Amino acid sequence: MTVFRAGDKVLIVACEDDPRAIGRTGRVLDEVPPGPLTNGRWTVDRVAFWIAPVLVHAHEIRKVG
């Protein structure tokens, strides 16, 4: 399992939560690995002005930059 850190810039390659986020970049909000509350999904913000923060599984995002 890939571990991300708060502030990591990521590319969203798939997103069950909101398909409009696919192909966009955002920043990981979580400071600890996700747990049962989010069903093991990471929170990614700053995707777009009109897209709220999305929840994604680790296999749906890739670190960039």
Interatomic CA distance for residues 61 and 33, integer angstroms = 14
pLDDT at 39 over 90: yes
pLDDT higher at 1 or 23? 23
Interatomic CA distance for residues 8 and 21, integer angstroms = 16
SS3 4: coil
In one-letter notation, the amino acid at residue 50 is W
Residues 38 and 61 sit within 8 Å (Cβ to Cβ): no
pLDDT in tens, 7-27: 999 999 999 999 999 999 999
Pairing between β-strand 25-28 and β-strand 61-63 as defined by DSSP bridges:
unpaired
pLDDT at 57 over 70: yes
